[in-house]
Structure 1
């Protein structure tokens, strides 16, 4: 197991990698200053920059898409503060590997050496395995640095999250990806690409630096005797590559234009920008992901069918492929453009998330907690719970907020589309609550 895992993570020994190592390994940053695209964390004012300057690390979870530098940052953090670096992967490691890592860290601690334990794909460990980290983190046996592509709020235990700072890594933008290609060309020579094809290669990476360098390595290995244009590049890599016109409107500019046209309820302009992207070779599933996000962010419950339309378009495209399936994407785009708009759900999410962070771990009132055991019943769990279906009008008007926390209003529907009906329901419930309170008083 250990030998298998050793092949999955970078060598921690100092010195340059072998000349025959993959390009991505040869271009691994040698210091935090060389990490591209994450300056909001690694810069002097960033969370990581400040910890390194202080010479003291806290446990952290690095959350970000693939190929954004999570593993490199963890390795470089240990070097920056003089810590011993140890690594395990939730894909290849089990309980025995974890016990061995903790035992070695305890031995090192007795010798005065602190250990940074890097856990790749930490979200793949189950809840019990995640709990196993807690005593070693609390005692300071290890400083935990976990890497995940999944939302830590859902993928990690609350107890583990309370002991680690979540740091968000950004998908690499065009400038950061371009900097990686510059480094590749300094090391291996110019890529056999026209300027337009180079931009298309950057766009096709979709923010993944490792993927970009692997594609560059494929180009170098082919030893081409002429520069490829965008269409030739797409054929060579067997991957649809975005081709932008002579004005070089970038990938992100076009998706931004599509989003704004949809929000502005302009179906004609929306269809134009959709066509610009798809005819240029943009990945259709990328466009569908953005349409699906739009359906929740800018339409929400003003038309709940918008989300269903986008997901149906995704299924239709995956079933039919291109070009037949692209008509389903057009249908979803036009539906979103012509639907009533509301960002009430989006605003409600931001407000609720902010409130949850501010209030911490306030417990719900005892009357709405389940009481499956006698002890829980004896201490008041479930006492005086008002079962709404037994109440007049099927509505009890009970209080569901934690003790000491006033009722909040996060969701404010707009008088458009289906949310007009939602407003009527909420107003009716509020009226009933006031009546119930009046009777209680």
Structure 2
């Protein structure tokens, strides 16, 4: 939004790229005011350098982008953020800037846009056109529920309404608010679905919400933030020429969400995360989601309650990352035992899944010897040994291995892996 929406409107550079100064004193391509620039540098995580601010395109733009992002985070609406960028956040009490316009709209009625200075109105309209919010497609002002009921209370008191008349007015207000909320949610849902579909079609080339056309302006602030984050992630990936790493923060958060609240995870739209995690991670998450949607909610909840119960019994405090690992391991085991969840998931199966995921194993030490770890703590690809395999079970594993490997005995790591793979199924 900043690159395609704000910068072209500001026009802060000449034909040869030289920095221009506005009549009010704003400088350079981002047209940041001198009084605001040091604050913007702090928001951008940069040390303040007045010389760079006045001469370096990249530095000047970084300050502007950070300041716009601050306004977007504060007001939750891209058009409001553009107004604040141009006129300043202002003060509701003094009636200045964006906050002044919002306060006047609440007091007098109408849209906050009606109370902006003429220059800022024009600025917001140009910005709206650039991000696809053309006339007739600007976001609908949301119903101010608190204001509606406040007005009813004031009228009831001033005109001495009977309790029955006030109750009737409140019920009519309830119906009106409900209708408006339903309409708003429908508009937002349609706009969001269209925008996500466009973003997915663009793939890695989706780097700015201005590419989404008119749908962006009709979404809720949270939906807009989701698409903005998606665009930002793509743009940052291009800048860094980096591909998502397996097990990154986004993947970990999604896997934790799957573990903590499977029902909510089943309803999560995974499309905005397509370019933030590896394809294999996305494939796994989509598969988990399909399984939960078709069946798995019940036994997923059995696993979460099992983790809660047995972690207390065993005195284990799991970090968010470890919780997700244990859940994933238990889920995989339960599915293998119950034919993909088609058979009953008993307490014994959940207990075995817990014991398997948290089994104590021995792994190579950092320099020499061995160290004891829980199995969920072992890094993928690290060989480990299980010291307390029952003798009879160990003999069964060795005998079966020898039959298929020409009489050769398995090593400890191979025995341990077979024991884990067949956990709870040895007679």
> RCO greater where, 1 or 2, for CA within 8 Å and sep 6 or more?
1
The TM-score normalised by the length of structure 1 is 0.26
More helix by share: 2
